[in-house]
A and B are shown apart, each in its own frame.
Chain A
Amino acid sequence: MNTTRRDFLRVGAGAVAATSAVSANSNEGFSSIASGRSAAAPSGDEGNMIYRRFGRTDVHISAIGVGGHHLGDVPTLDEAVQLVHEAVDAGITFFDNAWEYYNGKTETILGRALRDGRREKVFLMTKVCTHGRSGKLAMQMLEDSLRRYQTDHLDLWQIHGIVYDNDPELAYAKGGVLEAFDRAKKEGKVRFVGFTGHKDPAFHLRMLELGYPFDSVQMPLNPFDASFHSFEKQVLPEVNRRGMAALGMKSMGGTAWGIKAGVVQAEEMLRYAMSLPVTTTICGMDSLDVLHQNLRVVRGFQPMTQSEMEALRARCAPTAADGRFEPYKVSLRYDNPMTRMPHGFPFDHTQREVTEMLEKADGPWLVPETTPETSRR
């Protein structure tokens, strides 16, 4: 017999008490596990889905989200659309994306998949990719995203990739992306705003410290992170303290190298990430198999106990110590080509996304070349 949603919630709420001291975080995220339906009113199989409160708002979103980048890895458009349909029908309401992924392809896919009445059921996010450039460019990107999504508003718009040391300063600069946030909210084109990044807790803390009232903050959260440049230790408590929604990503360590090396299993990685005080955990899904696997974990989800989490962290600590299973923190691998370009970082020509991007002569990757030194070439 399937566990009913109510049972889930009871389990969730019961386990909260056991785990709330785990990482000295606020248990705000946990307490929201039991907080009722998504405001987006999902239908279908949502009875088996877990919904959590989005920060201090009255909106609730599914405890797992579909990552936008991996939609670009699904072999055909039909399969990608089917994946999104199944996800929505299973009660997933959170959909991640970014203006720059695969030259705009993944936003277009998601727009296609949501156009037949599913848009209203989801909490739709995308990210703006100015990477230090102007608020005006940000507004152009917003129009691109809305057009590709075939919608008139985003539920969440986040600054993509706060991954270089000076990104916080550039975001806060006069005429920068935060001014676009204010304007887009005022115009009703976005409901909530936030930022993302996978590189260094210090950059996230700087973004918070500079004071903009973000609604959400997205970051890598997994048991390796817990002992290496740790977002869990440094950023998550601060985000919860401020009542913002914490969005987890890279629950498998990005590359899943830790799984391939046999140190951890996929299911325990996802369970660990979901057991942290986060609103949702964004999962890359490039096939229906992966979607189904994730749904199985969610449907049977019980938060890990404090000692389970501690044991997993301890198991991961030796190999976490040099960052080997979190390459996004120490290499450029996870910095999108369009993230690198405005900063003048080199491309990685072994990456498929770069190859695809360069094959197109007129794609949206063609953004202004503005690094000081190149303008002197």
Chain B
Amino acid sequence: MVDQRRQNERSQVTPEIERRCFIQAGLTSAGTALATSVLPSPIVSAAVPPQMTNSGADQIPRRPLGKTGEQVSIIGVGGYHLGTVQSSDLAIRLVQEAVDAGVTFFDNAWEYNDHRSEEWMGLGLQGRRDKVFLMSKVCTHGRDKKVAMQQLEESLKRLGTDHLDLWQIHEVIYENDPDLHFAKGGVVEALDEAKRQGKVRFVGFTGHKSPAIHLKMLAHDYPFDTVQMPLNCFDATYRSFEQQVLPELRRRGIAALGMKSLGGDGQPIQYGVVRAEEALRYAMSLPVATTICGIDSLDVLYQNVGIARGFKPMSTQEMQALRERCRPSSGDGHLELFKTTKKYDGRVGREQHGYPSIAELPL
């Protein structure tokens, strides 16, 4: 309905200069004055991804996971989408086929889809647990260590395992999260304890909101093994994790895990700004260990596996060209709603931070 009306209105008000021209004009005329904020300095493209192994034509390549000595597949199965498919049978099949195709990295979180995501992944991994690098996330959102340890037990039970390969603090997206996590008796102490107990091997944190919040977490100098963040061709020129956080991780030898390679909801692809394949290839060509993909059908799985097999990183020039192509539409964040709205902020975190529910505050 809206679209139809948008069409109808063109005859009514037709400004001489449309926004697209504006943007171009902005870049040229105001360009000198805006150099610092509008035109990013040369992007980290000089940073090449870690060397790949297992890269035969029909294999999914692997890369080292930071300094851990582990290798993981260059694509990972996102836990959230797994819990949104129509049946446990399909979820199980997705997991099994992914493992059998050579995907080793599996993402999840204690809170996804009322725990269905962990349960279904656990079912899919029966008999295959040892072939994968299994991650889940702890969802205290500011609560104490005891809550964290309880969630760990629940995650282990649902995933049908006695240990996680990686346990990350989920959704560090509120400005005071770093303070809360590092507070005495907080979740960071649970990371230590879980490692001591042998229940988790490596630890990290995730978040989709702001590079500044990630940097605040890193400033505590805690020995995180991994950091997960949105990385895509729009992020490169908008509140950029690629520009601000990735170099810091490289400096510290922490493994970077990419997510939201298609902008979170695939809108840029629906709009025709980029194609899914180039968006995914861009994300995979960054210096990351893996790129976590939301996979909610066999078609999407096959497509992603196809892109990963025989993957060759984009050249520096290709990446720069794609960033430039995306720049005009990246500048206000409407293609990365996880940064600019509440849409992607989960229920449990909202509750802990005193925000209204998703129904009451959808965006």
Contacts and interface: CB of A to CB of B under 8 A. Distances in A.
Interface stretch (A266-274, A299-307, A360-368): A360-368
Given A322-B353, A348-B362, A173 B271 contact: no
A64 to B, nearest CB: 28
Contacts of A358: 1-2, 5
A137 B13 contact: yes
B32 to A, nearest CB: 11
B361 A331 contact: yes
Contacts of B355: 322, 324, 327
A300 to B, nearest CB: 32
Interface string B332-363: 11110100111000000000011110011111
Interface residues of B, number: 59
Contacts of B196: none
A347 B331 contact: no
B271 A322 contact: no
B174 interface: yes
Nearest to A172: B30
Interface stretch (B17-25, B97-105, B276-284): B17-25
A164 B23 CA distance: 14
A130 B363 CA distance: 22
A2 interface: no
Interface in B1-38: 1-2, 5-10, 12-23, 25-26, 29-30, 33-34, 37-38
Given A210-B34, A366-B9, 12 more contacts: A133-B17, A133-B19, A134-B16, A137-B13, A327-B342, A342-B19, A343-B334, A344-B334, A345-B334, A345-B340, A369-B6, A376-B272
11 contacts: A134-B22, A319-B354, A322-B354, A331-B342, A345-B334, A358-B1, A366-B12, A371-B19, A371-B20, A372-B273, A373-B272
Interface string A57-93: 0000000000000000000000000000000000000
Nearest to B176: A321
Interface in B87-141: none
Contact of B18 (A330, A366, A370): A370
Nearest to A202: B37
B19 A370 contact: yes
Given A164-B332, A377-B272, A133 B353 contact: no
Nearest to A137: B15
B16 A373 contact: no
Nearest to B350: A324
A176 interface: yes
Given A324-B355, A330-B342, A332-B340, A372 B17 contact: no
B5 to A, nearest CB: 6
Interface string B215-239: 0000000000000000000000011
A344 B30 CA distance: 23
Nearest to B355: A324
B15 A173 contact: no
A188 interface: no
B242 to A, nearest CB: 16
A324 B353 contact: yes
Contacts of B179: 321
A165 interface: yes
Nearest to A261: B354
A166 B332 contact: yes
Contacts of B19: 132-133, 170, 342, 370-372
The 8 closest A-B pairs by CB, nearest first: A366-B9, A373-B271, A166-B331, A164-B332, A321-B176, A134-B15, A137-B15, A370-B19
Interface of B: 1-2, 5-10, 12-23, 25-26, 29-30, 33-34, 37-38, 174-177, 179, 238-239, 268, 271-273, 328-329, 331-335, 337, 340-342, 353-356, 359-363
A166 B34 CA distance: 11
A140 B16 CA distance: 12
B273 A333 contact: no
A23 to B, nearest CB: 20
Contacts of A170: 19, 22-23, 26
Nearest to B16: A136
Identify whether the interface residues of A are mostly helix, strand, loop, or mixed.
loop
Nearest to A317: B176
A347 B5 CA distance: 14
Nearest to A132: B19
A3 interface: no
Nearest to A323: B175
Interface string A111-140: 000000000000000000010111111001
A189 B102 CA distance: 69
A206 B355 CA distance: 29
A175 interface: yes
Contact of B37 (A174, A206, A350): A206
B214 to A, nearest CB: 16
Contacts of A136: 15-17
Given A170-B22, A170-B23, A372-B23, A346 B15 contact: no
B157 to A, nearest CB: 31
A228 B175 contact: yes
A132 B22 contact: yes
Given A166-B331, A206-B37, A210-B33, A175 B271 contact: no
B331 A375 contact: no
A348 B341 CA distance: 11
Contacts of A232: none
B8 A164 contact: no
Residue with the greatest number of chain A CB neighbours at <10 A, chosen from B25, B329, B363: B363
Given A132-B19, A133-B19, A165-B238, A323 B334 contact: no
